[in-house]
Amino acid sequence: MNLKRALFPVFCSLFALVSTGCINTHFQKLHMTASEAPEVHGANTYQQPHSASWRVTGKINSNTRRDVKITPETSNSKNKSKESVEPDWLYKMGGVEFTGKADFFYKANSAFLGTGIGYNNGIYHHFSFGGNFSHVEFGFFIGLYHQYFDADYVGEHCEVVLFSDDKCDSFSNESHGLSTSLFGGGFAGLIFGDFFLNYSLSVYAPSPEIEGGSPDLSGIHSNYFTMGYRFHWVEVSAGFVMSLVEGSIASYGFTGGLSFYLN
C-alpha cells in the first residue's frame, strides 16, 4: 500500500508531461527598427593626473537607410506548421538621429575611470576605464542601452507534445516598446596637443520583448572614426561611422557635433 501511494504522484507527473507540452514561439516575419550602437570614447586630450573632468556633447548622426537581412533563430520543434514559409527577418536601420551625452572622468596617475549617460533613440549609460598619456589614450567600456523600437511580425505559437504532432496557432501583430541590451567595446586615440584622432568600437544585440519572449537577434557592431580640435573649453569633432551585422555592412554615414568642458 505504501509503495502504491509513493508511485501514484510519480505516475501523475509523467502523465502530465506526456499529455501536455511546452509552448514554443516561432517568428516567420520580424521587421524591427534598430539603431547603431552608442559611441563611447575617452577624454580626447591629455588630462592632468589626480584631476576630474566633465563634458557635455551634442551630435548629429546621418546614416544610410537600409533594410538589413538577419539570420533567424534556430528552432528545435519537431514539426513546423505545414503553411510555414521561409523566415523573413530584417533590421530597419539608418536615418538622421540627434544624440546627446554627459561624461565624467577621473584620472589617477596614468589610469582613468569614467562614467556617462546619453540619448541615442533611447537612454544608455556606461562605465569606462583605461589609460591616458601625453599622446595616446585607450580604454574599454560596458553599459546598458534602453532603445525604443517598432516591430512588425508574423509567427506561430506551437505546443510541443510527446508522441504527437505539434499544435500551432498563427499570429500577426505590431509592437512598440523599449528594449534593454548590454553593450560594450573599446576605444583608442592619438593626441597632438589640442588635435585628436579617435577610433571606437561599440557592440550590442537588440533584445525586445515580443509575444512574451525575446527573440535571439544578431549583434550590431558600430565603428566610429572621428577627428576633432579643442578650443579651450569647446571641442569640434566630425567623422565617419560604419555598422556591421553578421560581418556585412549594415549602414554607414557621417557623425559630427560639439562638446563643452565644464571644468
Instruction: Express each pLDDT in 69-126 by its tens digit.
Output: 998 765 434 444 444 457 799 999 999 999 999 999 999 999 999 999 999 999 999 9
pTM confidence score: 0.84
| CA distances in angstroms from 81 to 89, 99, 160, 164, listed in the order given | 18, 44, 12, 14
Indicate the residue type of 115: T
What domains, with CATH codes, occur in the chain?
7-71+85-262 (2.40.128)
Rounded to an integer, what distance in angstroms lies between the CA atom of residue 24 and that of residue 4? Answer: 35
Instruction: Express each pLDDT in 219-263 by its tens digit.
Output: 999 999 999 999 989 999 999 999 999 999 999 999 999 999 987
